[in-house]
A = this chain, B = another copy of it.
């Protein structure tokens, strides 16, 4: 029988300290296999604690397998293989937050905080937390209430007639594409993607080892005539607002695309990520409004409402929806059911339509201000691309500088601007194109940014 010396510290329960110290003694071989431990009573007396305390400590050790009780004979140390990891523990270090202090950040993908319907959203979110439905696992494919609203919204705003059962809710376009990819790769091994185009979608297809065939897009539109020379029967497009060029497909192009999908018996994945923000005209009807059997429609609340709520949806053709639901029958939903229900109640009350209407005006105003200021500052030195819709604009610079040089010199003046070359499948050879997002900037910030960019880009 060994002697123990315990030093109790304050704070932690005594039984826990006893448990911890005996455990350490065993692990460090100070107590060896089959060593006998002091009895519950003996240890309690020695340490001046209650027997209940020593009993609890021993029970924990027994439960975890460190020691065993042998009835009246007492407690003994078990045989342990000494394989505790010898790996050096890294000390805990909060990540170094070295942030390049930027004065104006033209990052795309955020939303306007100033005009966010904070009060209404908060109120509805709080109400949702009182529902019984918020405390259980929801429907795997999305909350019924939200799907009902989406049916109405898609019909009204995008001309798409669907049933609730055709909708799959998810946390992001990428997540939905990754999941869908498991089905698609059974019938397809390659896909046509826009070049340039949205990297997120390409990465999702890449995960499934799809071969990618590029389809050229430029400021004048998608070069659909190239389709005739491509092998794939699957295509991913952004017809309402091409990412990043901002061009839209005409009705002829839409029809040609659907015609193609029927001919090859394939599918069009229509990513309708920000169709809400079209300034010159009404949003164009979706491809899915022209044909439902060959179009997979994908939409999101990230761009038009709030990226942080992670809420997207997809509408599958009849030939896929049943299979998808069988594939993912035991999967849980990825989007928060609280956010789903809050959004449903936001839409039910008409707040969503109001919000989009209001934001369209606000963003339109910012867009024209940005474009005007750009023209004033840079005149003929650049061409503006995609000013009629969306939450960013592209500027094509007539300069011998590279994209990287422009970004770097802007940064030296405290302005963050963004490249477009990553969107191209091959390194583009044309003049540099810079992306400027403006959604979360105020007018005076845009103004200031422009003045700084003028200095950055026109002094050398």
- B138 pairs with A308, CB closer than 8 A: yes
Residue A297 at the chain B interface, CB threshold 8 Å: no
Please, which residues of chain B bring their CB within 8 A of the CB of A255? Answer: 80-81, 83
Residue A65 at the chain B interface, CB threshold 8 Å: yes
Other-chain contact of A284, B64, B329, B334 (Cβ < 8 Å): B64
Number of copies: 2
Q: Complex formed: what's the CA distance from A259 to B161 in Å?
A: 58
* Also in contact, A63 and B280, with CB within 8 A (given A85-B291, A107-B136, A334-B171): yes
Other-chain contact of A65, B126, B253, B335 (Cβ < 8 Å): B253
Please, which residues of chain B bring their CB within 8 A of the CB of A94? Answer: 148, 164
Q: Complex formed: what's the CA distance from A122 to B128 in Å?
A: 11
Q: Complex formed: what's the CA distance from A285 to B24 in Å?
A: 13
Q: Complex formed: what's the CA distance from A109 to B175 in Å?
A: 24
Residue A74 at the chain B interface, CB threshold 8 Å: no
Q: Complex formed: what's the CA distance from A381 to B200 in Å?
A: 57
Other-chain contact of A135, B111, B130, B132 (Cβ < 8 Å): B111
Please, which residues of chain B bring their CB within 8 A of the CB of A420? Answer: none
Please, which residues of chain B bring their CB within 8 A of the CB of A17? Answer: none
Within 8 A of B (CB), among A136-175: 136-138, 144, 148, 151, 161, 163-165, 171-172, 174-175
Please, which residues of chain B bring their CB within 8 A of the CB of A222? Answer: none
- B95 pairs with A116, CB closer than 8 A: no
Residue A125 at the chain B interface, CB threshold 8 Å: yes
A2-10, A336-344, A394-402: which one contacts chain B? Answer: A336-344
Please, which residues of chain B bring their CB within 8 A of the CB of A116? Answer: 135
Please, which residues of chain B bring their CB within 8 A of the CB of A307? Answer: 135-138, 332, 337
* Also in contact, A172 and B334, with CB within 8 A (given A95-B144, A253-B65, A282-B60): yes
* Also in contact, A200 and B163, with CB within 8 A (given A87-B292, A308-B134): no
A244-252, A264-272, A367-375: which one contacts chain B? Answer: A244-252
* Also in contact, A310 and B292, with CB within 8 A (given A80-B251, A132-B113, A163-B92): no
Please, which residues of chain B bring their CB within 8 A of the CB of A332? Answer: 172, 174-175, 200, 302, 307, 310
Residue A459 at the chain B interface, CB threshold 8 Å: no
**A269 to B: closest C-beta gap in Å:** 17
Residue A66 at the chain B interface, CB threshold 8 Å: yes
Please, which residues of chain B bring their CB within 8 A of the CB of A335? Answer: 171, 310, 336
- B134 pairs with A292, CB closer than 8 A: no
Please, which residues of chain B bring their CB within 8 A of the CB of A254? Answer: 65
Binary contact track A423-434/B, C-beta < 8 Å → 1, others 0: 000000000000
Q: Complex formed: what's the CA distance from A459 to B60 in Å?
A: 42
Residue A178 at the chain B interface, CB threshold 8 Å: yes
Residue A40 at the chain B interface, CB threshold 8 Å: no
* Residue in B closest to A285 when the chains form the complex, CB atoms: B64
**A179 to B: closest C-beta gap in Å:** 8
**A51 to B: closest C-beta gap in Å:** 17
Q: Complex formed: what's the CA distance from A331 to B201 in Å?
A: 9
* Residue in B closest to A130 when the chains form the complex, CB atoms: B118
- B248 pairs with A63, CB closer than 8 A: yes
**A52 to B: closest C-beta gap in Å:** 14
- A109 pairs with B136, CB closer than 8 A: yes
Q: Complex formed: what's the CA distance from A282 to B64 in Å?
A: 10
* Residue in B closest to A59 when the chains form the complex, CB atoms: B281
Residue A361 at the chain B interface, CB threshold 8 Å: no
Q: Complex formed: what's the CA distance from A327 to B135 in Å?
A: 34
Residue A447 at the chain B interface, CB threshold 8 Å: no
Q: Complex formed: what's the CA distance from A116 to B330 in Å?
A: 27
- A95 pairs with B165, CB closer than 8 A: yes
**A61 to B: closest C-beta gap in Å:** 9
Q: Complex formed: what's the CA distance from A253 to B78 in Å?
A: 12
**A153 to B: closest C-beta gap in Å:** 13
- B281 pairs with A200, CB closer than 8 A: no
Q: Which of A81, A132, A307 has the most CB of B within 10 A?
A: A307
Known interface pairs A64-B251, A122-B126, A334-B334; 7 further A-B residue pairs with C-beta atoms within 8 A, sorted by A's residue number: A59-B280, A63-B248, A85-B292, A110-B137, A112-B135, A113-B135, A207-B327
